[in-house]
Amino acid sequence: MVNPSKINEGGVQYSIGKFDGQTVVYDFPKVLVYLNAKGKLLFGKDFKIIEEDHQIIFKLCNYFVKDLEKCAKNDIDPEKGILLTGPVGCGKTSLMRLLKHLVPMQRPYRVIPARNIVFGFNHIGYKTIEDYGNGQFFCFDDLGVEPIGRHFGKDCNVMGEVLLSRYELFLKTKIKTHATTNLSAKELEDMYGNRVRSRMRKLFNLVAFNKNAKDKRK
């Protein structure tokens, strides 16, 4: 039997909790040890989880491991996706790339920069919107700072259309969508309009870094 409380990385086995044959009881300090190790493998030896981020990582870990009790305490709906917000350089993208490895038995999502989707639209048109509105799992990175799309002289708010498609998909199939953004709710509404913003509330749990979170790239 596969033991989901043990994860092998780089020739080392990490224990992230206890498994009774049916469920895993996760041990957050052990989870942090694993995430630090995996982060170094993914992003380089200088990667480090800092203490001031523990609270937000704890919330996200509870979401990804589907700890329903802790999710309820943090007002997180495990059926929705995650919209991770925070200032530039606080580590949003790295966390979303990292945390999917905590639950290797779950279907993984692809992290795709929103601007790359717009570039695809500019090249091949509306098929791009269909492609990202399909049944795959995605995390749209840097949502809201991508340019407006343009194909054969027609402008299109590409990510706005993709989000509407993902909302329809969610209603039919419960397939989740994740995203990261530097923008506030008001800025997102200005970018995509009230209709998309209202759908985003139903698509996403909002998880926010402190607005004064440090830029880790400096």
Beta pairing partners, 113: 141
Q: Which region, left, alpha or beta, applies to residue 79 given φ > 0 means left and ψ of -120 to 50 means alpha? A: alpha
Tens digit of each residue's pLDDT (9 = 90 or more) over 83-100 = 999 999 899 999 999 999
Predicted confidence at residue 172, as pLDDT, reads 94
Predicted confidence at residue 1, as pLDDT, reads 60
- pTM of the complete model: 0.93
CB atoms within 10 A of CB 211: 10
Tens digit of each residue's pLDDT (9 = 90 or more) over 164-176 = 999 999 999 999 9
Predicted confidence at residue 134, as pLDDT, reads 87
Question: To which residue do tokens 């440090």 refer?
Answer: 214
Q: What is the CA radius of gyration of the chain?
A: 18
Please state, for a pLDDT cut of 90, what percent of the chain lies above it.
83
Kindly list the structural domains of the chain, giving each domain's residue range(s) and its CATH number in brackets, ordered by start.
78-208 (3.40.50.300)
Whether 182 contacts 174, CB under 8 Å: no
Rounded Cα gap, residues 37 and 16, in angstroms: 12
Tens digit of each residue's pLDDT (9 = 90 or more) over 11-38 = 899 999 999 888 889 999 999 999 999 9
Whether 132 contacts 111, CB under 8 Å: no
Averaged pLDDT, 120-127: 95
Question: To which residue do tokens 């994860």 refer?
Answer: 7
- Grade residue 125 by pLDDT with cuts at 50, 70 and 90: very high
Please state, for a pLDDT cut of 70, what percent of the chain lies above it.
99
Token pair for 119: 């570039």
Whether 25 contacts 18, CB under 8 Å: yes
